[in-house]
Amino acid sequence: DVKVTQSSRYLVKRTGEKVFLECVQDMDHENMFWYRQDPGLGLRLIYFSYDVKMKEKGDIPEGYSVSREKKERFSLILESASTNQTSMYLCASSSHNALAGGTDTQYFGPGTRLTVL
């Protein structure tokens, strides 16, 4: 089974701190994604990566950055945490399946609930 793990289930940080959220997948997937989930807003894409050292902005990249130095690991960085970044953060990965038109199932981690005080 595909496994996507996230470094913390719950995290509490203070305003202005630098925050690192780590995500690791064990299925040699090319694609990795970071979302935030807020009540009534669904999932919104922050950043994604199709390959090592590659990154693309999603719908809401402001205030975030990412790093992908190894294929299995994708990190989300909050350079200076703010209270409006309090949210559930979900990581996902997928392979690039040409037979499915290049879109394959995304597999999700359990999420990190971040609170910024």
**104, 92 contact by CB (below 8 A):** no
Choice from 29, 32, 34, 48 touching another protein (CB under 8 A): 48
**Contact flag: residue 45 with another protein (CB under 8 A):** yes
**Contact flag: residue 46 with another protein (CB under 8 A):** no
- Shortest separation between residue 86's beta carbon and another protein, angstroms: 17
**Contact flag: residue 102 with another protein (CB under 8 A):** yes
Of 22, 48, 20, 40, give the one whose Cα is nearest residue 110: 22
**Contact flag: residue 75 with another protein (CB under 8 A):** no
**Contact flag: residue 76 with another protein (CB under 8 A):** no
- Shortest separation between residue 107's beta carbon and another protein, angstroms: 8
**Contact flag: residue 34 with another protein (CB under 8 A):** no
Of 83, 40, 79, give the one whose Cα is nearest residue 61: 79
Taking the C-alpha atoms of residue 112 and residue 91, their distance in angstroms, rounded to an integer, is: 9
Taking the C-alpha atoms of residue 110 and residue 91, their distance in angstroms, rounded to an integer, is: 8
**How many other C-beta atoms lie within 10 A of the C-beta of residue 12?**
11
Interaction site with another protein (CB under 8 A): 4, 33, 40-45, 48, 50, 58, 90, 92, 96, 100-103, 105-111
